[in-house]
Structure 1
Amino acid sequence: MASEKNGNDQYWLKSGFINVLQNLTGVLFGFGGFYLLVRMLDKHSFGVWTLFAATTTIFEMVRSGLIQNALIKYLSFSDAKEHNKILSASFALSGGLTVLCILVNLLLATYLGRIWNSEEIIPLFWVYSIVYLFSGILSQFHWMEQANFRFNGIFFTNFLKSGVFFCFLLFCFIFDFQIKLVQLVYVQAVALFLAILLEYYFVKDLLNFTLQVTGEWVRKLLNYGKYAFGTSIGSILSSTIDQMMLGSLLSPAASGAFNIAVRIMNLVDIPTNAIAVIVFPQSARRLATEGEAAIKYLYEKSVGTILAILIPALLFLFLFPDFVVSFIAGDKYTETIPILKVTVLYCVLIPFGRQFGTILDSIGRPKITFSLVLLSAITNLGLNYILITRMGVMGAAYATLISNIFNFAISQTILNRILNVNILNTFVYAYRFYPEFFVKYIKPRLT
């Protein structure tokens, strides 16, 4: 029992460290690139890039939402003899979705350029087809690693991918090279291709699949993934619909100003993303071995840990938003300051919602997550339209805040009924986090 507990502690410590490091470097590279872009591009061009990135994120989520969680779940605790069939089915599904999404992307390019009054965005979508093809291969490799509780390759390839893009921007910034937006998409394609070559060496021992696609496993992946797919789409729409509607109802520049607040908040979202990656395969395995009581603890503990890390950073952002915006984006985005203060308020609720979806998906109840996310997306869409037309950019911030409060109330009611989750326990774990961390991991190294 003691060895099992030590093994679990080592898993959480090692996996947590790698994933936090991965998210940290990814966000820092992303933030560094944003820091340079916002200074090299005018407000309109930065807004166009923001709208393009928000749209292409939806395409990425379409594929990962349908396949990722299902692949990880079945690879995590299915018979090893079935792994080759599972991988074949997932590669087939991913390939089919990639082709479909590329076609949709090409068909939508001109339409989106027209409603956003941005003709320059059209070639970005055309070139993105190459990026989407490469990212599909890399994502498959990453999911295979995650299902086998391995994260090294994910870290190094994401570091390479983000690093190449950042270095290009830094070169352009230092030498005052005037960049075109389409060049950024080409650089993304090159970075992804290099990352695929590197990731192959981390997963080649896992690439045991057959060329014959088994219909049974295709159906299993689809049946499990269909709700996670809807959840992912609803979730990404909830987080990007405000920027898209600002672009169409106001201007790309308004979308860019709002995106700056979102980018700043991404810096404090690192632990949420890292812990979600760890919790999913662990909760899927714990359900099979320990039952739902272990899942309740996993949810409360993980959310408490995230809150302990987030709250100090959120307090700083709330108290000094003018300093943060001025330091990060310069003086030309002062309209972002009040947006940031509202954004901080709903960021406190994000860990509850993120882990809600992770836990319910892992225990085989993705339909509930899908229904809630769909309801939240519809609510967010309606609130954004009403409040943006009446209040401008600030309307998008208030709409997202109200939508998150609504989502939080419903999700906690569901968790209480299914797993007897107590919200107060999350704050107890948050309070205990620092002394426990010190006693377990810092003090032994000091003595």
Structure 2
Amino acid sequence: MLLRKLARDSVIYGGGDFLLKLLAFFTFPLLASALSAEGFGVMELGLTIATLGAVFVRCGLNNAVQRYYWDAGVSEVERPVLVSTGFWLTFGIGVVCGVCSFFTVPLIFKASSGGAEQLAPMGVLAIAALLPLLQWSQYLQDVLRLHFAPWKFLAYTFSSRALGALVALFLVLYFGAGVEGVLLAQASVLLLALPLGIWFVKKDFVVKVDRPLAGRLLAFGAPFIFTEVAYWLLASIDRWVLAAMAGVSEVGIYSVAFRFSTLAVFVATAFGMAWSPYAVKIRADHPQSYKHVYAEVLLILLVVMLCVAGFIALFAGEFIGQIMSPDYAAAAIPLTVLCFTAVLQASQQVTAIGISLANRTKIFAGLVWVAAILNLVLNFWLIPQAGAAGAAIATLISYVFLSGAFLFFTQRLYPLPISWARLLWLCFLGAVILFSSIHWSSQEFDLSTSAVKLCIALVCLVFALLSLNFKIFRSL
């Protein structure tokens, strides 16, 4: 059954992502204590440069290959050419960006508050290598998802990412390696693991580049550069405005709320990794019914996300009160609001699908930039009135706009047979949970208040489940 496979893959991807985050959580304080604060800052700046540079190396080619891999117009014989063309394009762009970064990274450090002398030439070389290696690794991981091979995906992810973190930690703790040692260890492990990733995808790997296909992939993928930069602005602008208008303490409160809300984002990410290859394959295998499947998956996804985000939101105050110091009590309301932002983020896995299928990726870039500008304007308006809560509300409104705009264009380009009555009903139930979470927000666990919130949650869950229809999946 499709839903069972989708749920299984989501659990596998989500479990792997969780373990990677857990590893990062435990290695972070050890690295931070072994390195000086100055050295740790240099390392973080280097990794940030490598991560941001990967956006340009990626050039949306991952998205393009995922879009066409299971397309009805691409035969099984053509898929290796498709994957290999995308890989070699990424490889070439990565080499060029890596060489350029070797010369520009020292300039970036000079412009920063640190200084070029804080990073030795070997550290600069490591960053220049990390920049393409991170993306080559990600490209192979995305191909493994297209193969519906979650266990191979996990094996390659741990051998390239987790092992790199552990080797870096070992070198720092036992050999006193500095920032350069950490960066070189991660780059070396990624390089050594690259043949394993290629071997895992060997059925789709050939030494060939199809020039017309390369142009097609670049035309589809290039707009994603502007989209990803806009998403970066959308995700970070609130902290800068908070710092400027409300002070660093409000940034701390908002950051705590954001960290807790990632529990809901984690579920959305796991689903997204599992769903994207299925979405294109369903369209190729079931051309008569795939739109009905998309419409029902949207509703099911909303129910699942409302369960996860709704539970966190209802008990946000209690979570903050028990885990954090009283200084962070004000993070409860921002956390409640940001949980529902995660629901909207998850819905974009389906609401934006028509834009992707229609190859209108420029629409993504335009809409995300509008959302980023809207978020900036709302932050300037709401933060003086409500601080961190105002920033959270601005983010929620921006995502309401973005998800709604995605759905609008999907309905224009690839209209889905959505049951608007059921969709609005789920939105109403979500609003009930949101306002209940704010109204009964409490820093202490109170039995009567908790019972009321649980009753509201259960009633909403029953009404939400009654709105779902699983019949369409039985025929797949």
Does TM, scored on the shorter chain, surpass 0.5? yes
Match of 2:449 in 1: none
Q: Do the aligned residues in 2 keep the contact of 1:279 with 1:358 (CA within 8 Å)?
A: no
Higher mean displacement: 36-45 or 297-306: 36-45
Match of 1:329 in 2: none
Note the alpha carbon deviations across 1:222-251, whole angstroms, 9 max, x for none.
Answer: 222133333223213322456688999999
Tell whether 2:51 aligns with 1:57.
yes
Residues 262 and 43 from structure 1, CA distance in 2 versus in 1: closer, same or farther, beyond 3 angstroms? farther
How far apart are 1:273 and its partner, in Å? 0.8
Tell whether 2:271 aligns with 1:275.
yes
Instruction: Map 1:414-425; keep pairs closer than 5 Å.
Output: 414-415=406-407, 418=411, 419=416, 420=418, 422-425=423-426
Match of 1:372 in 2: 367
Could you tell me how far apart the structure 1 residues matched to 2:39 and 2:109 are? 13
Q: Do the aligned residues in 2 keep the contact of 1:72 with 1:146 (CA within 8 Å)?
A: no
How far apart are 1:177 and its partner, in Å? 7.3
Instruction: Map 1:204-219; keep pairs closer than 5 Å.
Output: 204-207=202-205, 209-211=206-208, 213-219=209-215
Match of 1:152 in 2: 151
Q: Do the aligned residues in 2 keep the contact of 1:234 with 1:373 (CA within 8 Å)?
A: yes
How far apart are 1:346 and its partner, in Å? 1.9
Q: Do the aligned residues in 2 keep the contact of 1:227 with 1:370 (CA within 8 Å)?
A: yes
Instruction: Map 1:31-430; keep pairs closer than 5 Å.
Output: 31-37=25-31, 39-40=33-34, 46-64=40-58, 66-77=60-71, 78-119=74-115, 126-168=125-167, 171=170, 180-207=178-205, 209-211=206-208, 213-241=209-237, 263-288=259-284, 289=287, 290-321=289-320, 323-325=322-324, 338=330, 342-343=334-335, 345-356=337-348, 359-361=351-353, 362-364=356-358, 365-380=360-375, 398-399=390-391, 401-412=393-404, 414-415=406-407, 418=411, 419=416, 420=418, 422-425=423-426
Helix, strand or coil at the partner of 2:149 = coil
Residues 295 and 12 from structure 1, CA distance in 2 versus in 1: closer, same or farther, beyond 3 angstroms? same
Note the alpha carbon deviations across 1:24-81, whole angstroms, 9 max, x for none.
Answer: 2122122223344455566665555444444432222333451111101211232112
Could you tell me how far apart the structure 1 residues matched to 2:124 and 2:253 are? 22
Q: Do the aligned residues in 1 keep the contact of 2:375 with 2:395 (CA within 8 Å)?
A: yes
Could you tell me how far apart the structure 2 residues matched to 1:184 and 1:197 are? 22
Note the alpha carbon deviations across 1:200-239, whole angstroms, 9 max, x for none.
Answer: 34222332x243x222101211222133333223213322
Tell whether 2:11 aligns with 1:17.
yes
Tell whether 2:461 aligns with 1:431.
yes
In the alignment, structure 2 segments of 5+ residues that lack a partner are 431-459, 471-476
The residue type equivalent to 1:304 in the other structure is: V
Residues 92 and 127 from structure 1, CA distance in 2 versus in 1: closer, same or farther, beyond 3 angstroms? same
The residue type equivalent to 1:276 in the other structure is: G
Could you tell me how far apart the structure 1 residues matched to 2:237 and 2:92 are? 26
Q: Do the aligned residues in 1 keep the contact of 2:126 with 2:180 (CA within 8 Å)?
A: yes
Could you tell me how far apart the structure 1 residues matched to 2:21 and 2:463 are? 24
Residues 158 and 319 from structure 1, CA distance in 2 versus in 1: closer, same or farther, beyond 3 angstroms? same
How far apart are 1:298 and its partner, in Å? 1.8
Could you tell me how far apart the structure 1 residues matched to 2:55 and 2:262 are? 17
Residues 206 and 261 from structure 1, CA distance in 2 versus in 1: closer, same or farther, beyond 3 angstroms? same
Higher mean displacement: 41-50 or 147-156: 41-50
Helix, strand or coil at the partner of 1:88 = helix
Residues 353 and 10 from structure 1, CA distance in 2 versus in 1: closer, same or farther, beyond 3 angstroms? closer
Q: Do the aligned residues in 2 keep the contact of 1:141 with 1:199 (CA within 8 Å)?
A: yes
Could you tell me how far apart the structure 2 residues matched to 1:298 and 1:321 are? 33
Could you tell me how far apart the structure 1 residues matched to 2:251 and 2:47 are? 12
Helix, strand or coil at the partner of 1:72 = helix
Residues 179 and 241 from structure 1, CA distance in 2 versus in 1: closer, same or farther, beyond 3 angstroms? farther
How far apart are 1:376 and its partner, in Å? 2.3
Residues 46 and 170 from structure 1, CA distance in 2 versus in 1: closer, same or farther, beyond 3 angstroms? closer
Taking CA–CA contacts closer than 8 Å with sequence separation of 6 or more, which of the two structures ends up with the larger relative contact order? Answer: 1
Note the alpha carbon deviations across 1:246-285, whole angstroms, 9 max, x for none.
Answer: 9999999999997676555444432111101122122223
Residues 356 and 9 from structure 1, CA distance in 2 versus in 1: closer, same or farther, beyond 3 angstroms? closer
Could you tell me how far apart the structure 1 residues matched to 2:294 and 2:213 are? 27
Residues 434 and 371 from structure 1, CA distance in 2 versus in 1: closer, same or farther, beyond 3 angstroms? same
The residue type equivalent to 1:301 in the other structure is: I
How far apart are 1:126 and its partner, in Å? 4.3
Helix, strand or coil at the partner of 2:222 = helix
Helix, strand or coil at the partner of 1:149 = coil
Could you tell me how far apart the structure 2 residues matched to 1:160 and 1:185 are? 16
TM-score between both structures, scaled by the size of structure 1: 0.76
Q: Do the aligned residues in 1 keep the contact of 2:152 with 2:200 (CA within 8 Å)?
A: yes
Could you tell me how far apart the structure 2 residues matched to 1:122 and 1:272 are? 37
The residue type equivalent to 1:431 in the other structure is: L
Could you tell me how far apart the structure 2 residues matched to 1:112 and 1:335 are? 36
Higher mean displacement: 421-430 or 249-258: 249-258
TM-score between both structures, scaled by the size of structure 2: 0.72
Q: Do the aligned residues in 2 keep the contact of 1:50 with 1:255 (CA within 8 Å)?
A: no
Helix, strand or coil at the partner of 1:81 = coil
How far apart are 1:341 and its partner, in Å? 5.7
